[in-house]
Amino acid sequence: MNPAAELLVDDPIWLILIKVVVIFAIPIVITILMIWAERRIIGRMQQRPGPNRAGPFGILQSLADALKLAFKEDIRPSMADKWVYFLAPILAAIPALLAMAVIPLGGEVTIFGERTVLQVAEVPAGVLVVLACASIGVYGILLAGWSSGSPYPLLGALRSAAQVISYEIAMGLAIVSVVFYAGSLSTSQIVEAQMQQGWFALLLAPAFLIYLVSMIGETNRAPFDLPEAESELVGGFHTEYSSLKFAMFFLAEYVNMVTVSALATTMFLGGWAAPWPLSQIGDGVLNTGWWPLLWFALKLGACLFLFIWVRAALPRFRYDQFMHLGWKVLVPAALGFFVVVAVIRVLRESEGVSPTHIMIVLAVLLVIVVAISFLFPDRAAPQDEGPPVSGSGYPLPPLDLKVPDVPVRRSVSATSEQKPAGIAGGTRRGATRSVGKADDSASSAPASSPKEGGDGTV
């Protein structure tokens, strides 16, 4: 039982309640800020002001959007499955909000004369709690798509589910090596370990990189935002959702971003501990009291900024490229890295005992196997003999869609023909995302129902 846990168990109930409420509020607030920040930053990056009307710097913009969203028409398609359709958003939101509880926001402090740590719950398997919440969230997505009774949401749901779980593997494997070094699954212990051994981001750089990538994939963010790939799938799994139900998904998505960022902070960036030069000041005075909250906030902010930055910088992946990245690069890399870490570490601990060579052979063997698998072309064995196998038998949308280049002379009319679809696509993107993904134009569009999205013009 580690010190944090000891402190936490004798928390009085009122303190626990306060903490709970706070930790519940934090992600939501961050979300609201995040949306605004995102739109501003991207706006800047795209040479445009971004929202700047509501409040100073338009800081109230997303609040306004949220309120507006609450008063939109709530629609349940006739083909939808009543209860599941109703349940899905809840199922998506709850775990997202739950995950933050195990993240240590700071060290030991005194609140109203009560010694405690800035952490809501210290459980032995904290990391697993976060991962568990992440995977439970998938149910929300999947059920939402399934229950909508409409092809696009279903396909979108499948995609996002597939992508979440695929990247969860890589994420898990990346975390394993952290756990291996920290020797514990409890978040606070991991922070402690980093205070001794230094940031795992540096110590386990590959794992950190893998985590960052999979973190973005896990939260369905650009460049991995395929489930909501407007041009292919309209709005993805929540196409049919509107009003507060939609808001729930939206919230869940952003809260998840916050959560994974917080996890990244905790596991790789030293958690609430002060960064290196500062940590030396006054033999770690900056690691005491309420200071850690600041460091934590900064690191979290950095991670969130990364999200925005990446989104602005990178184009969206194609689905096959995306899966390829997840399964054929991240997973093997994470696995191999873990093996290397394990072998080296154990070798170091057990001073060159006899079975050493066994392990070396073993590791080499593994590496070889992986290497071989890389050497070979990534295509399936050629189907030379035997009848041709058709694919899954399901009409997948063509993934390498080439827009036929229109003849020069009739180009005007051609574009005019294509325009409505384009507009429909574009504005419909605005419609569901009117709470403000990139384009401001849509933010004013009535974001009520998908059907209206079509005629919600600029």
Partner 1 sequence: MLTSVSVLAQSESVESYSIDWWAISPLLVVFLAAFVSVLLEAFLPRSRRWAAQVGLSIGTLLIAAFAMILYINEDLRVGLGLSEEVPVDPAFADATHQVAPVTTFNGALAVDDPTLFLWGTLLALALPSFLMIADRSVEPGGAFVAQAALRPGSTQDRAQTTVPGMQTEVFPLALFALGGMMAFLASNDLLTMFVALEVLSLPLYLMCGLARRRRLISQEAAVKYFLLGAFASAFFLYGIALLYGFAGSVQLSAIAQATAGTDRSETLLFAGLGLLVVGLLFKASVGPFHSWTPDVYQGAPTPVTAFMAACTKVAAFGAILRVFSVAFEASSWEWEGVLWAVAIASMVIGAVLGLTQTDIKRMVAYSSVAHAGFLLVGAIALTDDGLAGTMFYLLAYGFTTVAVFGVITLVRDSDGEATHLSKWAGLAKRSPLVAAVFSFLLLALAGIPLTSGFMGKLAVFSAAVADGMAPLVVVALIASAVAAFFYVRVIVLMYFSEPAADGPTVSVPGAFTTAAITLGVVVTLLLGVLPTLALDWAGIGGFIS
Partner 2 sequence: MLESYLPLVLLFALAALFALFSVTAAPYIGPRRYNRAKLDAYECGIEPSPQPVVGGGRVPVKFYLTGMLFILFDVEVVFLYPYAVAHEALGVFGLFAVGTFLIAVTIAFVYEWRLGGLDWD
Q: Does 353 bind partner 2 (CB under 8 A)?
A: yes
Please, what is the end-to-end C-alpha distance for the chain in angstroms? Answer: 60
Q: Report the C-alpha gap between 203 and 121 in whole angstroms.
A: 27
Residue 387 as a binder of partner 1 (CB under 8 A): the answer is yes
Identity of residue 449 = S
DSSP 8-state assignment for residue 330: I
Does residue 233 contact residue 166 with C-beta atoms inside 8 Å?
Answer: no
- Binding partner 2 (rule: CB under 8 A), the pick from 7, 162, 195, 438 is 162
Residue 283 to residues 194, 276, 277, 286, 288: CA-CA distances in angstroms?
16, 12, 11, 8, 10
Q: How far is the CB of 422 from partner 2 (least distance, A)?
A: 12
Interacting span for partner 2 (CB under 8 A) from 3-11, 54-62, 197-205, 207-215: 3-11
CA distances from 325 to 160, 167, 321 (A): 15, 9, 6
Round to whole Å and give the CA distance between 395 and 393. Answer: 7
Work out what residue 352 binds among partner 1, partner 2, none; the CB cut-off runs from 5 to 8 Å by kind. none
Q: Is 234 in the site for partner 2 (CB under 8 A)?
A: yes
Our finding on whether 376 is near partner 1 (CB under 8 A) is yes
Q: Which of residues 334-373 bind partner 1 (CB under 8 A)?
A: 369, 372
Binding flag, residue 169, partner 2 (CB under 8 A) = yes
Angstrom distances, CA of residue 316 to CA of 80, 264, 431: 30, 23, 20
3-state secondary structure of 111: strand
**Cβ at position 224, least distance to partner 2 in Å:** 14
Nearer to partner 1, 9 or 372 (CB): 372
Q: Which residues in 136-195 contact partner 1 (CB under 8 A)? A: 184-186
Q: How many chain residues touch partner 1 (CB under 8 A)?
A: 20
Select from partner 2, partner 1, none the partner in contact with residue 388, using the beta carbon and a kind-dependent cut-off of 5 to 8 Å: partner 1
158 scored as a contact of partner 2 (CB under 8 A):
yes
Q: Quick one: which of 164, 153, 170, 171 has its CA closest to 229?
A: 153
The CA angle 385-388-392, to the nearest 5 degrees, is: 140
222-231: b or e for each residue (b if 16 or more CB lie within 10 Å)? bbbbbbbbbe
Q: Which stretch binds partner 1 (CB under 8 A): 271-279, 304-312, 338-346, 378-386?
A: 378-386
Based on the shown chain and the rule CB under 8 A, indicate whether residue 93 belongs to the binding site for partner 2: yes
Amino acid residing at 418: Q
The tally of CA atoms less than 13 A away on the side-chain side of residue 5 is 10
**Which element (helix H / strand E) includes 179?**
helix 151-182
Our CB check for partner 1 shows the closer of 46 and 373 to be: 373
Task: Tell me the per-residue interface mask from 98 to 117 with partner 2, x by CB under 8 A, - otherwise.
Answer: x--xx---------------
Residue 134 tokens read as 């992440």
Quick check: 298 binds partner 2 (CB under 8 A)?
no
Number of residues located near partner 2, criterion CB under 8 A: 117
Residue from 56, 315, 377, 386 touching partner 1 (CB under 8 A): that is: 386
Cα gap 436→144, rounded to integer Å: 22
User: Among residues 124, 275, 289, 397, which is the contact residue for partner 1, using CB under 8 A?
Assistant: 124
- Contacted by 385, from partner 2, partner 1, none: CB < 5 to 8 Å by type: partner 1
Residues that bind partner 1 (CB under 8 A): 124-125, 128, 184-186, 369, 372, 376, 381-390, 393
